[in-house]
Amino acid sequence: MYDELVFGQIDLEEQPPISEPDRQYYFIKKCRQYVTEFEHLNGRLPKACVVTFGCQMNARDSEKLAGILQQVGYELTEDENSDFVIFNTCTVRDNANQRVYGRLGELNGYKRRNPNMKIALCGCMMQEPEVIEKLKKSYSFVNLIFGTHNIFKFAELLCATFESEGMLIDIWKDTDKIVEDLPVERKYPFKSGINIMFGCNNFCSYCIVPYVRGRERSREPKDIIREIEKLVADGVVEVMLLGQNVNSYGKNLDEQVTFAELLREVEKIEGLKRIRFMTSHPKDLSDELIQVMKESKKICRHLHLPLQSGSTRILQQMNRRYTREQYLELVQRIREEIPDIAITTDIIVGFPGETPEDLEQTIDMVRQVKYDNAFTFIYSKRTGTPAASMENQVPETQVKEGFDRLLKVVQETAREQTARHQGKIMEALIEEVNESSPGLVTGRLSNNTIVHIPGDESLVGSLVQVSLDECHGFYYLGHMVNEMQPLVDNMKG
Ligand code: SAH
Ligand code: SF4
Ligand code: F3S
């Protein structure tokens, strides 16, 4: 990353550089002038708020947006009544979209009272032409709109909003570009997401992600390793490697690398304590990966393995490219090799043509696999996807009852799975002070289970041994145990 010395050498009298990321650093410096102007006029720094919808990938993108805003000189806040507000949107299900429109209405209210306020929209939803049409027509108070492929250009676009009036729109259809080394402002000092790849090539028939995120592109292993090394030097102990299908990592690189090989390299990084990743597509999960996980001291005992449906017929319609039996067999292999692993999943209910029998098969899978947790979604029709034009769309009212039944089984299983660890001593990474009871801090076990223990701020970011005293459904109440305690003590319960 650039330091202040390099910023000093950028000459704004000259034309902006063509190459990235230099070009963006030029515009960061240019934006700084506008921020200074603002400060002189208003006697305070401008405030900026980044709001994230959607998945971890979007959360990571938001950290990049925040990084730029901070470099430019904004004071970052969580208050949407700010001088600059950006919504990083998601469109995976329709309710994500509706939330954005609702919140935009509120922003308009703030903007009426603060006419200098700038509103920006970016992210997956912006890659849909219908959305842009609607925004142009009914949300003309928005200042800046860009998409997923040109997010690296944020500094340049931000600069343009200072220099123009009205609505600025810049959407790219696709890209093969990956821009490295832009500023990032992390939400947590001790853990971080890392993109290892972008886009998706799977085209599950219900899913809009491949259309809004483009084709699969992997980052070079050396860039990933370098980024993690820097993060570790900056205090990060846990990383989450991010991709829509991490199991196909490396396939488009000139020098092909498998995901398992990448993990082996990440494992070697000194000072890094924990490695997580998501998401794993069952069709591409290799034996090599299972082996690497088994042998690893750092890879967490958690695998998110989206099932989507337990019916082979529906899986085929979904273009998931595995059967119920293949999935079960895979889970069996994983559990044999790594018995203490927690498996979580995503399930869709109400896919076109789904019958009560299909749903029974899904419920049965939940019982058989014994998920530690499952995210259940009601199917949402996404324009342009193959499933949207399938016959037999199931009305949502018809889905509700089955959905609730599935949810009950998911919760039962999750409770049982979580309770397995009652009385054990395990390592937790303390993530935050508990908001509702400030005498407690909240930690996460390797298997992703949450534990609350007595403690204060000073523990945040540290790995501690905790005793899992009381299981409360999906989380534990526990206490920290001194690592020096005699073994007999550790075995109580
Ligand atoms: N790449 C990941 C998932 C990304 S989207 C994977 O393949 O598993 C996260 C989850 O949203 C999906 O696993 C799926 O369960 C859900 N989802 C995606 N499209 C959906 C739709 N149209 N309706 C309902 N749920 C959907
Ligand atoms: Fe969507 Fe399937 Fe790609 Fe996941 S793997 S992002 S569900 S198309
Ligand atoms: Fe949503 Fe885009 Fe993620 S559609 S789930 S934010 S990749």
**Could you read off the pLDDT tens digit of each residue along the chain, which spans 493 residues?**
567 777 888 999 999 999 999 999 999 999 999 999 999 999 999 999 999 999 999 999 999 999 999 999 999 999 999 999 999 999 999 999 999 999 999 999 999 999 889 999 999 999 999 999 999 999 999 999 999 999 999 999 999 999 998 999 999 999 988 999 899 999 999 999 999 999 999 999 999 999 999 999 999 999 999 999 999 999 999 999 999 999 999 999 999 999 999 999 999 999 999 999 999 999 999 999 999 999 999 999 999 999 999 999 999 999 999 999 999 999 999 999 999 999 999 999 999 999 999 999 999 999 999 999 999 999 999 999 999 999 999 998 889 999 999 999 999 999 999 999 999 999 999 999 998 988 999 999 999 999 999 999 999 999 999 999 999 999 999 999 975 554 554 444 3
Tokens 């402002």 correspond to: 185
Distance CA 102, CA 313 (A): 37
Q: Note the pLDDT of residue 492.
A: 43
- CA 55 to ligand 3 center in whole angstroms: 5
CA proximity to 441, closest of 459, 423, 426, 465: 459
> 331 near 282, Cβ under 8 Å?
no
* Cα→Cα distances 207→92, 198, 243, 298, 380, Å: 7, 16, 15, 32, 9
Ligand with smallest separation from the Cα of 87: 3
> From the CA of 9, how far away is ligand 2's center (Å)?
44
> Residue 471, Cα to own-chain centre: how many angstroms?
27
Sheet strands (E) in 219-321: 238-242, 274-278, 302-304
User: What is residue 198's predicted lDDT score, i.e. its pLDDT?
Assistant: 96
The phi-psi region of residue 118 (left if phi > 0; otherwise alpha if psi is between -120 and 50; otherwise beta) is beta
202 touches ligand 2 (CB under 6 Å): yes
H or E element in which residue 416 lies: helix 396-419
* Bridge partners for 479 per DSSP: 467
Parallel, antiparallel, or unpaired for β 84-89 and 47-52? parallel
Distance CA 346, CA 330 (A): 16
User: Could you tell me the strand order of the sheet in which 191-195 lies?
Assistant: 191-195, 238-242, 274-278
Rounded distance between C-alpha atoms, residue 327 and residue 312, angstroms: 10
Instruction: Tell me the Ramachandran region of residue 177: left when phi exceeds 0, alpha when psi lies from -120 to 50, beta otherwise.
Output: beta
Ligand 1 mean position, distance from CA 288 (Å): 26
Q: Is the CB of 245 under 6 A from ligand 2?
A: yes
Q: Are 161 and 143 in contact (CB under 8 A)?
A: yes
What is the pLDDT at residue 483? 59
Q: Is 281 in the pocket of ligand 2 (CB under 6 A)?
A: yes
pLDDT value of position 387: 98
Return the closest-CA partner of residue 89 out of 162, 23, 142.
Answer: 142
Q: Which atom of ligand 1 is nearest to the CA of 381?
A: 22
64 C-beta closer than 6 A to ligand 1:
no
Helix (H, G, I), strand (E, B) or coil at 426: strand
In the reported structure, the alpha carbon of residue 346 is separated from the centroid of ligand 2 by a whole-number distance in angstroms of 11
Q: What is the pLDDT of residue 482?
A: 73
- Asked whether 344 lines ligand 1 (CB < 6 A), one says no
Q: Find out whether the beta carbon of 91 lies less than 6 Å from any atom of ligand 1.
A: no
Ligand 2 site, residue 207, Cβ cutoff 6 A: yes
* Residue 425 CB coordination number (10 Å): 18
The number of the ligand nearest the C-alpha atom of 212 reads 3
